[in-house]
């Protein structure tokens, strides 16, 4: 199928999986693909990534001819100009790299990058038609603890582009070394990585996909839920948001105790307000969300 407006090659890269597709200006997707991030990035991460993008684009001659931009969400901190990857804790070889310039030299089209969670947030804001003048916080708990904040229709980037790194706020008394290099980041006790560690050490006979369904009454799992809630409540107390988006693979697992999670968030939030007036949204999870979100970012950047 051809689109007179052309297409963007859009990618959503996570610590575990990476997904890609061609996306037109109406956000229809074509040639959707999924690959394991470690398979693509092992060795020379940048070279292998560029080779992978070449393979995906070359797989469709018709869409290759219509290509007008490449837009990618990375599981990274990104500079304020959205050109360089500053730090990528869960993928080796993607630190201090001006990846946008490299992509543009290779493919001779504009390249747009941002944090993967920002792309997810853009998709969810579009899907739920959230008002542009609202304060919105989004927490996506998967391999790590992703976070994005939107104020008045603009994603908060900060002076250096590294705002809203909620997964890397320090927790007193935690001495685990984080993938970012710091000690005691909340992500070390509140993330899919930590849940996997708990399962292997304390619940080896339970499939991790069933850990909430079978073990949610266990004290360790209850503490884990509280650990997930503390960062959300912290951000609620700072921003007093209109909407709270709660997504990611951990929250979508079978049997995840949403009521306990929300109760913990309310418990840790400031009383009486904002605790008594919180609006939670659990976005419908799809492997394609981040890909479309990256396209939304790309088309918005082209204008």
Range from 12-16, 40-44, 47-51, 57-61 carrying the lowest mean pLDDT? 12-16
In this prediction, residues 73-96 reach a mean pLDDT of 91
Q: How far apart are CA 257 and CA 260, in angstroms?
A: 5
In this prediction, residues 274-288 reach a mean pLDDT of 94
Q: How far apart are CA 41 and CA 52, in angstroms?
A: 9
In this prediction, residues 149-165 reach a mean pLDDT of 93
pLDDT (tens digit per residue) in 169-187: 999 999 999 988 899 999 9
pTM of the model: 0.91
In this prediction, residues 52-65 reach a mean pLDDT of 92
Burial class (CB in 10 A: 0-12, 13-18, 19+), 214: middle
> Confidence class of residue 287 from pLDDT cuts 50, 70 and 90?
confident
> Confidence class of residue 121 from pLDDT cuts 50, 70 and 90?
very high
In this prediction, residues 77-106 reach a mean pLDDT of 93
Task: Give the model's pLDDT for residue 257.
Answer: 97
Neighbours of 99 (CB within 10 A): 21
Domains of the chain: 7-118+287-302 (3.30.420.40), 132-281 (3.30.420.40)
Task: Give the model's pLDDT for residue 1.
Answer: 44
Strand ranges (DSSP E) for the chain? 7-13, 17-24, 29-36, 67-74, 77-78, 85-87, 111-115, 135-141, 145-151, 154-155, 243-247, 280-281
pLDDT at 4 over 60: no
């Amino acid at each position: 199928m051809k689109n007179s407006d052309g297409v963007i090659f859009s990618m959503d890269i996570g610590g575990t999986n990476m997904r890609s597709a061609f996306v037109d200006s109406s956000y229809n997707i074509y040639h959707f693909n999924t690959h394991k991030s470690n398979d693509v990035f092992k060795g020379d991460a940048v070279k292998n990534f560029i080779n992978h993008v070449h393979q995906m684009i070359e797989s469709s001659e018709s869409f290759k001819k219509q290509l007008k931009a490449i837009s990618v969400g990375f599981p990274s901190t990104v500079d304020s100009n959205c050109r360089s990857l500053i730090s990528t804790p869960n993928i080796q070889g993607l630190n201090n790299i001006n990846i946008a310039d490299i992509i543009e030299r290779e493919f001779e089209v504009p390249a747009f990058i941002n944090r993967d969670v920002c792309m997810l947030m853009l998709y969810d804001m579009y899907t739920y038609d959230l008002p542009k003048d609202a304060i919105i916080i989004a927490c996506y708990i998967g391999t790590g603890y992703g976070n994005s904040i939107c104020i008045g229709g603009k994603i908060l980037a900060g002076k250096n582009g590294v705002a809203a790194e909620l997964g890397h706020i320090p927790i007193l008394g935690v001495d685990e070394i984080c993938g970012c290099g710091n000690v005691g980041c909340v992500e070390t006790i509140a993330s899919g990585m930590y849940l996997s560690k708990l399962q292997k050490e304390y619940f080896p006979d339970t499939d991790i996909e069933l850990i909430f369904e079978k073990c949610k009454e266990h004290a360790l799992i209850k503490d884990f839920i509280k650990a997930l809630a503390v960062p959300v409540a912290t951000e609620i107390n700072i921003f007093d948001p209109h909407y709270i988006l709660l997504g990611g693979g951990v929250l979508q697992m079978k049997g995840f105790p949403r009521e306990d999670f929300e109760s913990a968030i309310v418990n840790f939030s400031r009383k009486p307000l904002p605790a008594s007036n919180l609006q939670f949204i659990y976005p419908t999870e799809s492997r394609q969300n981040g890909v479309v979100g990256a396209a939304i970012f790309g088309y918005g950047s082209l204008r």
